[in-house]
Amino acid sequence: MSTSSPIESITGLWRFTRGPSSSAHSRSLPGHLLHLVRSGAYRLRTNQREYDIRAGDVIYYHETEDVEWLGNATAVVFDSVGFMSPSFEPLGAEMRVFRSDAQMRRAFDGLHSANLMPEGFARRCAIYGALSMLLSRIELMRAGHAVQARPRSAWSEAERIIRERKWFRPTLDQLAEALSLGRASVVRAARKATGQSPMQRIRDIRIEEAKGLLKYSILSISQVAAYLGYGRVHEFSREFRKHTGAAPSSLRR
């Protein structure tokens, strides 16, 4: 029987307070990141969705995501844990914000208590044990959600593919093939879900991703272009300027 841990490493473990503020932008950490809101409330925008966050909510991020804090009137207290785990499947868009239960809150309590222990083997075991309990509970919630969830819409599946494969800038034919649908079905699905054509929606997703990378990453403009599937940097710059009215370099100032 294998005794290897599915958790590769812990990248961060904190309890922190954010005072009242208007708005701010940031990027999440590489790997997986989970926040439990202990107290307070605020409004959040990420992955082109907005959420009203309140005490007891868990927020999940995967890899480096663009995060926009839209303001809070009172202080917000978080427990947070970042970790690397190739075997933990990223949570879907429907589970990026969810309500905690008593077992999840106990697991976060365990993480906080373990973090206060002296360095050593016992502390490490306590941290990994509490995180394992938390992830096990989330997996049970994920399984229950999958049973109850309605089938994923065609365009939701398209956006999942587009967001996961950053370099993929498909033609309509390529997108239809990836979805095993006809061209007309893809167009109808996109217009029903977003009010846009498939190509317009893909362009908007890529431009928003580019803005986040240009603002918060250390990638050069040419690296951002390549990462998002543009064969030539001038093609990326031309499209970015056309749809934002500014050059990519303007976000680096």
The model's pLDDT over 171-198, given as tens digits with 9 standing for 90+, comes to: 899 988 988 889 999 999 889 888 889 9
**pLDDT interval class at 247 (50, 70, 90):** very high
Average pLDDT of the residues of the chain: 85
Do residues 111 and 130 make contact, with C-beta atoms less than 8 angstroms apart? yes
DSSP β-bridge partners for residue 57: 99
Q: DSSP character for 49?
A: E
- Mean pLDDT to the nearest integer, 65-77: 86
pLDDT score for 31: 85
pLDDT score for 47: 73
**pLDDT interval class at 152 (50, 70, 90):** low
Do residues 175 and 158 make contact, with C-beta atoms less than 8 angstroms apart? yes
pLDDT tens digit string along 87-104?
888 888 778 899 999 999
**pLDDT interval class at 63 (50, 70, 90):** confident
DSSP β-bridge partners for residue 61: 33
Q: How far is CA 116 from CA 77, 86, 110, in A?
A: 17, 27, 10
DSSP β-bridge partners for residue 81: 13, 34
CATH among 2.60.120.280, 3.30.300.30, 3.20.20.60, 3.40.50.10190 for 9-148: 2.60.120.280
For CATH 2.60.120.280, the residue range(s) in the chain are 9-148
Torsion of CA 167, 168, 169, 172, to 10 degrees: 180
pLDDT tens digit string along 207-236?
888 887 887 677 889 988 888 888 889 999
Q: How far is CA 105 from the centre of its chain?
A: 21
Q: DSSP character for 35?
A: E
- CA 21 – CA 17 distance, rounded (Å): 12
- CA 145 – CA 126 distance, rounded (Å): 29
pLDDT tens digit string along 108-128?
999 999 999 998 889 888 999
CATH among 1.20.1250.20, 1.10.10.60, 3.40.640.10, 3.20.20.100 for 154-252: 1.10.10.60
pLDDT tens digit string along 25-48?
777 767 899 999 999 999 988 877
Residue 162 tokens, joined: 């587009």
In the predicted model, is pLDDT for residue 150 greater than 50? Answer: no
In the predicted model, is pLDDT for residue 4 greater than 60? Answer: no
Query: How many other CB atoms are there within 10 angstroms of residue 227's CB atom?
Result: 16
In the predicted model, is pLDDT for residue 148 greater than 70? Answer: no
